[in-house]
Each structure stands twice: as C-alpha cells, then as structure tokens.
Structure 1
Amino acid sequence: MRLTPAHLDTATAALRAVLPLKHPADSILRYFFRENPMLGAYDRAFIAETVFGILRHRLFLESAVEIATPRSLLLAYLAKFQGLNLRELIPFASEAEAKWLAGIKGFSPESQPLSIQAELPEWLMEKLRGFMEDSEILDLGRSLQHPAPLDLRVNTLLATRDEVLASLGKDGIQASATPYSPIGIRVAGKPAINRHEAFLTGKVEVQDEGSQLLGYLLAPKRRDMVVDFCAGAGGKSLMLGALMHSQGRLYAFDNSEKRLNNLKPRLKRSGLSNLYPQLITNENDIKVKRLTGKIDRVLVDAPCSGLGTLRRNPDLKWRQSPQSIEELKRKQAAILSSAANLLKPGGRLIYATCSFLPEENQEIVENFLTSHPRFMLLNCAELMVQQKIPLDTGVFLQLSPRLHNTDGFFAAVLELLKNES
C-alpha cells in the first residue's frame, strides 16, 4: 500500500485517541472507525496494525524521538519497524523531522536499558526480577513484541479438523494443525476468517491454542454437570459443550450482560443444546449458591492482568499497575473460593489465568489449598498424557509465547476429595 498524507493524518488521529489508554485500545479503535465510516478496509488495517505496533514498541520509540507526540512516534515506527526509507518519508516530514528521522535507523535497542529492549514498563520489570533472570525477561519481552498467530478451534459436533483444513486450503487459505490441541488450526496471515463458510456455519471459532488446552484438562464427560464460572463471550463454554457431545448440562456464568450477549450468535451457530448462559451479579449470586455441591467440573478462567496476551493486547502493560494487580488478587481468591463450593466430592476444578505472574497464579492456588484441606492438586503433565497431548510443563500448565507460540497461560487442576466413609 502506497503511503499518502491522508494515511499519516488518520493514523496520527487514531493514535491520539488511543494513547491516553483510558479504555482498551481495540474498543477505542472500533469507536474511531465508527466515527470515520469513509475509511476503507485497507485503511483500517493499516491504522490498526500501526497503532498496535507502536504500543508494542512504545518504550523504544519514546527513547528514540526528541519529543514523543503521536505524529513523531508514528514516523519513527514507520522508519524503524516498517522498513520505510527516508526517501519515502521525506515528502511527509518537516525539515526538523527529516533530521532526526535520518538517525533513527541506526538507533539500536541493544544499547538501551533492559526495560526498553524488553519493551516492559519498570513496575513490571520489578515484578519479573522477583522470579526471572535478566536473560529470561529479555526473551519473554521480545516474544511479546510479535503479533500473535490466528488460531481456530474446530467444532467437533459439526466437522473434523481434516475437513476444515481441506475447506480452507480449497479457498487459498494457508493453515496447519496446531502442535498440541487435537482440534486446533493455525492460520497463516490475516484472512477474513469471519466471512468464511466454516466460520459462518459454526464449524470453527477463533480461539488461542492455549485456551483450547484448558478444555482437555477439565475433560468433562457426556452427562456431567459443568460450570464455566467466568465465561466471558463463551469461547471455552462452546468448546466444553462440544467435548460433552451436547449432552449433560453446562452453565456459562458471567457478570457482564454485554459479554453474554456476544455468546448468543456463537451459540446459535454451534449447534449446541446443552449450554445455558446465566447472568450473575457476583460470585455469591443465588444462581451460583443454588448449585452448591452439585457440579462435576468447574472452569475458573479468572479475571487477571492479561499480561500473557500482550502480543494481542499490548496496551495492557500500560493500563495495568501494581495497584490493579492487588485488586485482581483479592477478586481471584474470592472467585476461586466461591467456585470451589459448587463441586461434588470427586469433582474437578481448573483455576486458570492468562498471566505469567506467580502472585496471580501459584500463590493464589497455594493459599487456597492451605485454607481448603479437602482439595488436592492434580498433575497437569499426567492429565495431558491421559489426553494424548505431547506437552509437559510440570504440575501446573504454564504456556508462553516464546516456548509454545500460544498466549501466556497458567492453569492448576484441583480435585475435591471424596468423603471418607
């Protein structure tokens, strides 16, 4: 795509709207595009990719420009990370801008402090140094600077993975089987998958491979009673329903009506008849308490910092803080404790987050086990062997973009011991 002054102006305006980061970057961009309906598909793609690229590399860009403004960050990003040469940018740059742009190609991240090389803010660096070496932090930071691949989950009620791969290939979409999830597909590039027949007919859903593995850890049986405690828009609920062959009973709880409304069209496409979305006010809602001691399987994908999804949501490293994580930890402990009450003896619960911070993960689980002696920790590696999935990250499931090319996921599997007779 040939760069024009209009591209620069609209991308600068979009970045100016996003950078206060009062709200998620993707929702601000959606609003921006609604307010600018004349933008074509290529323009929107250019703006979105550029804004997210700048958020990924913001620390480096701010250190490389004289004054950090939306426009200077944009020009620096195009020169350094999009490979535009000075000759291509000169027509759009002032004399002063051209001067510092000339030196930006030679401005090396390697000469910068570790936080700039890793593109992680100081508050997060401080937390990571509590359990990681500098070389590991750098590896993690660099892995989070690349956009995430597009992963799909095959709805096994309606199709097999081979059928979907053949259908995508026939339409010129490059795709391959994911290495771990038996029903995952990784798509090359950025095709408009939401317009493809496989998506429109419910045969596939967009879902990160790491998220798919949670369903195999939970391993619900056909006639089980199952609760997805923090269902959101229901991606994992839909997978669990398919694993149950649309039998048994599956409740999708969430305290956001908007998120559950997003589940409705997906549920309709899926062909499931065993999934019941339920709006709750909080973890102590009467709808929750009514199920105490009746549930075979509970999935708690807890509200968390989301730092494991920085490839998709780079704005989170600027929107989270030590204070917000303290609040999340209180919420995580309360939700886990409440969800655990649902289990019948012998039942299984998964506590999961898309964070790599031990204080949101191992520490929450350890504190829970201390105060709930009737629960035992199961070994995720052994459960993966049972599911014939070649993945061993130890007792806990711990996935990282660098090692597994998934989002950064954590999961612990807990079982309620049966009553001794």
Structure 2
Amino acid sequence: MHPSARIAAAIEVLDDLETRRRPAGDALKDWGLARRFAGSKDRAAIASLVYDALRRRASARWMMKSESPRAEMVGALHLARGQTSDQIAAAFSGEGHAPPPLSEAEQAALAAADLSGAPAWVLGEFPEWLAPYLDRAFGEQAAEEGRALAARAPLDLRVNALKGAREKALAEMAHLGAQACRFAPLGLRIQQGQEGRAPALSAEPAYARGLVEIQDEGSQIAAKIARAKPGEQVLDLCAGGGGKTLALAGDMDNRGQIYATDSDGRRLTPIFPRLERAGARNVQVRAPRGPSHDPVGDLAQACDLVLVDAPCTGTGTWRRNPDAKWRIRPGALEQRIKAQDEALARAEKYVKPGGRLVYVTCSLLCEENEDRIAAFLAAHPGFSAEPAAESLSQAGLSGLDDAVSPHGPGLRLTPARHDTDGFYAVVLRRAQS
C-alpha cells in the first residue's frame, strides 16, 4: 500500500472507533480481515498511525478546530510525527487511494499550529471530564503527566528468578538492545522499534523457556512491595492472567503456597501455560464455581499476604492503551470504586493476625487509591498503613523517594517521574491481636 493509502485506511479505522466506541485492536483486526490485500507491514503501519492519532487526539482536535477523524489524523501527522504542512498536503493529494486534498481551513490550521491558551486537558491529551480528577492528583503537573501518559511505552520484561539471573537474560537478549531497568531489580527494558513495533518475543528462546515474562517495571515494583517470602501462605485475590502471581512465585523460590483466584474465572485462563513455562510449582489456581461459591473460603485469617490487584479505570496504562482513555465514562469510575471497596472488604477476611494486605491499582486517581484506603482503614481499625518509605526499604528498592504519595499512605509511580506505567501500591498490616 502507498503511504497515502495507509493514511486513508487509518482515518477509516478512526471513524469506526468514533462510531462504535470499541477497542482499537478490535477495529484494526476487523479492518485487516476485510481487506486481505493488506500485508503485515501495511497493517502494522496503519495501526501505528491510528495509535498516534489517539495519543494526540485532544491537541489535534484543538489545533485543527475540528473533532473529525480526518482532523485527528492531520493533526497527529504534524504533532506526533513532525510532518510539515507541505508533506501532509502531498499525502492528501486525492489521487488514487489517497485522502482528499486539504481544505483552506485545514491548511490555515496547519500553518498556525496553535496550541496557545489550550487548557491542561488538551496539553495533557486526556478527556475534559477527567481534568478535575487529574488536577487533584497532580496539580500544576497534570498536563506534564498527561503528556507522559500519551507517549509510547517501552517493552518491559521481568527476569524469572526461578530460571536464571538478570545478567544471563541481558546476555541472551543483547541483540534486541535489552537494558537493565532503572528501579526493578529483575527488570529488562527494550525500546520500541520503528513505528512503535516491539520485537516478536514468541520467537525468542529466553521467552519460550520462561526466563523472561512481559511485565511493566511499575507492576514489578508493586509486586516487590508485597515482599512475598519463601514458606509464606499467599493469596492473589484478583490474579487475572497471573502477571503478579508469577512475580510472587519467583520471590518465594517455589516454597510456601500461592493461591490464585479471580471473581471471573475466565480471566484465569492464560495463567496455566504461563505457570508451566515459568516453572512455578507452588501455585494453586482456584476458579469460582458459581456466584455463591468462595474458592478460597478455607483460607480465612490464614494468609501471611493477601494481594488485591484491584479492578480500576486503568488511567495508568494509557501509554499502552491510548484508546481506553477516550472510551472511559464517569459512570465507570463509580463502578470501579464500588468494586474496589468490595475487594478490600473481602480481602481482609483472609489476612491472619500480623499479616499483610497489599492493595494495588494501575490508576492515578485519588478516588481509586488513597480515598479507598482511607475508607477501608476507617471501617477496619485492626489494620494500619505501613509508611511508604518503610515499604521501599524493606523491599530493597532505592531511588524512589519521590514516589511517596502526597495524598495519603502508599506509593505512586508515574511515567513522567519514573518512566513506568502509572501504579499505586500500599501495604496494610493487620494487628497481631
């Protein structure tokens, strides 16, 4: 496909997203299935254009003075890819499969390229209705944090301690440019390639035999804060696909027991091949069998550690899912808050005296993080929040002093400050008696 035809196709996908309000991955897949003539490189290039437009949607619309998918693409070509007005005009020639020529209004908007006077939600590339929430979380840094969340994310890997050391993995993956992560002691980072393409990990021997797993550095830090120890009884209450379960298994050196469960048993499906590949032998997967069945009911006040990787709005993952920010609605936040309170209330039942309850979200909103912990502690006086500095020290993590939350107990990791996805983590302790 000619580059101009790829742009036209990307505009078509953006129009589908605007009309049907569905994940970008689904729209791109359907587009490719309906157009078998498009090769893998074409599909990858179109996906890259779509995601660039989604990352810069707010500023592109503001600059172009239009909310159309075409305006988003024109703006993104300039703002995200640095193309000049002449280069964009050449691509929008109207010839063959190219988009129609630029109008006089579009040419004028491109020539001005004016974002002066734009509010923080435009400069930060996030929905306007979220502005008060991000302003509360970050104040004057809201736009800066938003821009960091709009950037492309690197590919982060966690070295599986059950299979080898980080030095071994670095040597095996040197051809991909792998580097040690800044904070996570077992983290590796590979920068995205041309047009945001990551390497095909499934073809890498280190991945195939379980030496490395895909996991953002922020998620690795959150798991490390939990401090799972060999011999402990550990419950991962919202295990999903098992990313943090695997990290806990590595920290425990296959000694002790991890119980992995989830309110939706379907989310547990990916965990089984991952456990086998990782060589994690101390994990019991317990799926629910009906709404009234508690698969971990026998663990009441028996666990040294209960991890709650709570359902959330996912505002911290926008680098990887830029379309998600435009699909989220205020009602979703209310639903997530309810689910978080329910998860915390359930989790405390399994924590033994002197045990730990670790609450984690991939959200940056105070309403899902510090506010939930404040409400939980008010309702459960037998628990107390561990100071964030102590959590870092006991986990052996350094260089993260600026991650201590200014809004309450816990840690906040952000792409602008730490070059990770956005995460919140806090350790709660149950009194001995």
TM (norm. structure 2) is: 0.89
Q: Displacement of 1:384 after TM fit?
A: 1.7
Bigger CA drift: 279-288 or 76-85?
A: 279-288
SS at match of 2:258: strand
For the 8 Å contact 1:305–1:328, the answer to whether it is kept is yes
Amino acid at match of 2:182: P
Alignment of 1:350-369 (within 5 A): 350-369=358-377
Question: 1:61 corresponds to which residue?
Answer: 60
Question: 1:77 corresponds to which residue?
Answer: 76
**Which of the residues 160, 164, 179 maps onto 2:165?**
160
Q: Displacement of 1:41 after TM fit?
A: 2.7
Amino acid at match of 2:45: F
**Which of the residues 106, 116, 121 maps onto 2:127?**
121
| 2:426 is aligned with 1:412 | yes
For the 8 Å contact 1:90–1:98, the answer to whether it is kept is no
**Which of the residues 172, 188, 191 maps onto 1:188?**
191
| 2:396 is aligned with 1:388 | yes
In structure 1, C-alpha distance between the alignment counterparts of 2:116 and 2:52, rounded to whole Å: 19
SS at match of 2:207: helix
Q: What does the per-residue CA deviation read over 1:317-364, in whole Å, with 9 as the maximum and x for residues that have no partner?
A: 222222211111111001101011011111111011111111111111
Amino acid at match of 1:107: A
Amino acid at match of 1:69: S
Q: 1:282 to 1:130 in 2, by over 3 A?
A: farther
Q: What does the per-residue CA deviation read over 1:222-245, in whole Å, with 9 as the maximum and x for residues that have no partner?
A: 121111111111111111111111
Amino acid at match of 2:8: D
In structure 2, C-alpha distance between the alignment counterparts of 1:243 and 1:290, rounded to whole Å: 24
Q: 1:78 to 1:361 in 2, by over 3 A?
A: same
Q: Displacement of 1:34 after TM fit?
A: 4.4
For the 8 Å contact 2:235–2:306, the answer to whether it is kept is yes
In structure 2, C-alpha distance between the alignment counterparts of 1:245 and 1:44, rounded to whole Å: 42
Question: 2:195 corresponds to which residue?
Answer: none
Question: 1:47 corresponds to which residue?
Answer: 46
Q: What does the per-residue CA deviation read over 1:80-134, in whole Å, with 9 as the maximum and x for residues that have no partner?
A: 322334244243343444762464153122342332112122211022334543x
Q: What does the per-residue CA deviation read over 1:53-99, in whole Å, with 9 as the maximum and x for residues that have no partner?
A: 11111112222335533334223322432233424424334344476
**Which of the residues 414, 417, 422 maps onto 1:403?**
417
Question: 1:301 corresponds to which residue?
Answer: 309
Bigger CA drift: 89-98 or 195-204?
A: 89-98
SS at match of 1:365: helix
SS at match of 1:350: strand
Amino acid at match of 1:129: D
| 2:103 is aligned with 1:89 | no
Q: Displacement of 1:159 after TM fit?
A: 1.6
SS at match of 2:286: strand
Amino acid at match of 2:100: S
* Gap runs ≥5 in structure 2: 193-197
**Which of the residues 269, 274, 280 maps onto 1:261?**
269
In structure 1, C-alpha distance between the alignment counterparts of 2:102 and 2:343, rounded to whole Å: 55
For the 8 Å contact 1:79–1:105, the answer to whether it is kept is no
Bigger CA drift: 88-97 or 187-196?
A: 88-97
Overall identity of the aligned pairs, in %: 35
Question: 2:238 corresponds to which residue?
Answer: 230
Question: 2:142 corresponds to which residue?
Answer: 137
Question: 2:178 corresponds to which residue?
Answer: 175
Question: 1:374 corresponds to which residue?
Answer: 382
SS at match of 1:341: helix
Bigger CA drift: 230-239 or 278-287?
A: 278-287
For the 8 Å contact 1:229–1:252, the answer to whether it is kept is yes
Amino acid at match of 1:82: R
Amino acid at match of 2:12: A
Question: 1:279 corresponds to which residue?
Answer: 287
Q: 1:161 to 1:30 in 2, by over 3 A?
A: farther
Amino acid at match of 2:91: L
Aligned residues: 415
SS at match of 1:109: coil
Amino acid at match of 2:28: L
In structure 2, C-alpha distance between the alignment counterparts of 1:105 and 1:247, rounded to whole Å: 64
For the 8 Å contact 2:286–2:296, the answer to whether it is kept is no
SS at match of 1:293: coil
For the 8 Å contact 2:315–2:364, the answer to whether it is kept is yes
Question: 1:110 corresponds to which residue?
Answer: 116
RMSD: 2.2
Amino acid at match of 2:178: A
Q: Displacement of 1:254 after TM fit?
A: 1.6
For the 8 Å contact 1:21–1:318, the answer to whether it is kept is no
Q: What does the per-residue CA deviation read over 1:237-284, in whole Å, with 9 as the maximum and x for residues that have no partner?
A: 111111111122111112334421122221221111111222226997
| 2:198 is aligned with 1:201 | no
Question: 2:155 corresponds to which residue?
Answer: 150
In structure 2, C-alpha distance between the alignment counterparts of 1:58 and 1:339, rounded to whole Å: 39
For the 8 Å contact 2:301–2:349, the answer to whether it is kept is yes
In structure 2, C-alpha distance between the alignment counterparts of 1:127 and 1:159, rounded to whole Å: 42
SS at match of 1:330: helix
| 2:23 is aligned with 1:24 | yes
* Gap runs ≥5 in structure 1: none
Question: 1:311 corresponds to which residue?
Answer: 319
Amino acid at match of 2:166: R
Q: Displacement of 1:209 after TM fit?
A: 0.6
In structure 2, C-alpha distance between the alignment counterparts of 1:283 and 1:176, rounded to whole Å: 45
